[in-house]
Amino acid sequence: MLPLPAKLIPFLAATLVGIAIMPAAARPSPGPVPHVAVGRIVQLQESSRFVPPHTVDVWLPPGYPAQAPYAVLYMFDGQMLFDATQTWNHESWHAAGTAAQLIRRGRTRPFIIVGIWNAGDHRESEYYPQKPWLSLSDVQRGRVRSMGLKLPVAPYSDAFLRFLVDELMPRIDRHFRVATDANNTVVMGSSMGGLMAWYAMSEYPDTFGGAGCLSTHWPGTALRPHRSNPSPNAFVAYLKAHIPSAAGHRIYFDHGTVTLDAMYAPTQQRVNRLFRAHGYGAANFMSKVFPGAAHTENAWAARLAVPMQFLLPPRQITFKPSR
């Protein structure tokens, strides 16, 4: 990875404590249910055979279920999505308001949001893509573990995806009026959640028809540039071998240009070339740069309408039997 300009290093170091890659380090606990100004939240406490229990906030738009069947947007770091009065940094994605407005104006098809809370102090281990991790040598894994975000245990994101696909999604299908085909099932996250979004679609291309990856944290566990960081190359190598077919899939990437986002352009440009070489074009691939945007929930909230519209454009949807 190319180094940052020297003038950015002190600024980056001075702001790390307040940046949203860390949000999320407080261990999640049930409730209170987030307050939303539009629609309503149904909060679930989900146990699993694969990972520790997770709190899940399901947002239902105004009028639900009148426009059934609804598409489903699964989002990571779910405790940061809806209610800034309950988050560690008093910021949120304001996802409910944005989604409700887009649905009301016909800019997207009707959809619900399933916000999966992260694993607290195990967040990095749950969100670091596991197969790229396994491709590293022991020396490289030690290097990754020594960087700014410590992995408390070896990455177990494959188990997390088993929870999502084999346990949570069937429960959502049973209890809510949703379409269950891949074209109406989208996953989204930011930072390390952005890593998990493309990893989820790559591992389960028949399940997820779209992925939204905001401020994807291509350095993996690093919070500053390291020439010897093996994570970016491991992610690119995995994608080269596992990009889903361009037919039937959409993917969205973006990043800002300050704080942690200042590190992302070199790897993101490699990934952009890779997807285009695999047949992705303007209809199903978008990669945007937001000058001056930082690595914060407020920044993601400001542009959330862009990936929502790209991944869930308005069109006729048909109900299919549950998974």
For residue 114, give the nearest of 166, 155, 57 by alpha carbon. 57
What Å distances lie between residue 309 and 36, 84, 243, 259, 286, CA to CA? 21, 23, 22, 26, 11
In this structure, how many other beta carbons lie within 10 angstroms of the beta carbon of residue 315? 10
For residue 52, give the nearest of 133, 179, 156, 132 by alpha carbon. 156
Output the pLDDT for position 2.
39
Whether 164 and 200 have beta carbons less than 8 Å apart is answered as yes
- Please tell me the distance from the alpha carbon of residue 102 to that of residue 71, in angstroms, as a whole number: 13
Q: Which domains does the chain have, with CATH numbers?
A: 8-311 (3.40.50.1820)
The H-or-E segment that residue 111 falls in is strand 111-116
Tokens representing 176?
A: 């809510």
Whether 228 and 3 have beta carbons less than 8 Å apart is answered as no
Output the pLDDT for position 243.
97
- Please tell me the distance from the alpha carbon of residue 169 to that of residue 183, in angstroms, as a whole number: 15
Task: For tokens 């894994």, name the residue.
Answer: 141
Output the pLDDT for position 5.
45
Q: What is the DSSP string of 159-209?
A: HHHHIIIIIIHHHHHHHS-B--SGGGEEEEEETHHHHHHHHHHHH-TTT-S
- Amino acid identity of residue 103, one-letter, is I
3-state SS class at 58? strand
Q: Would you write out the chain's pLDDT as a tens digit for each of its 323 residues? A: 334 444 444 334 333 333 344 333 334 456 689 999 999 999 999 999 999 999 999 999 999 999 999 999 999 999 999 999 999 999 999 999 999 999 999 999 999 999 999 999 999 999 999 999 999 999 999 999 999 888 999 999 999 999 999 999 999 999 999 999 999 999 999 999 999 999 999 999 999 999 999 999 999 999 999 889 999 999 999 999 999 999 999 999 999 999 999 999 999 999 999 999 999 999 999 999 999 999 999 999 999 999 999 999 997 544 444 45
Whether 112 and 59 have beta carbons less than 8 Å apart is answered as yes
- Please tell me the distance from the alpha carbon of residue 62 to that of residue 53, in angstroms, as a whole number: 29
> Pairing between strand 54-60 and 210-214?
unpaired
Output the pLDDT for position 82.
97
At residue 245, what are phi and psi to the nearest 5 degrees?
Answer: -55, 140
Output the pLDDT for position 29.
56
Output the pLDDT for position 31.
65
Please list, in sequence order, all residues whose beta carbon lies within 8 angstroms of the beta carbon of residue 247, skipping any fewer than 6 positions away.
none
Q: For helices 231-242 and 265-277, what crossing angle results, to 10°?
A: 10
Tokens representing 184?
A: 């109406």
| Alpha carbon 321 to its chain's center | 26
Output the pLDDT for position 148.
87
- Please tell me the distance from the alpha carbon of residue 169 to that of residue 165, in angstroms, as a whole number: 5
- The edge-to-edge listing of strands for the beta sheet with 40-46 is 40-46, 54-60, 111-116, 71-75, 185-190, 210-214, 250-255, 285-289
- Asked, as a colleague might, if the bond just before 266 is cis with ω within 30 of 0, I would say no
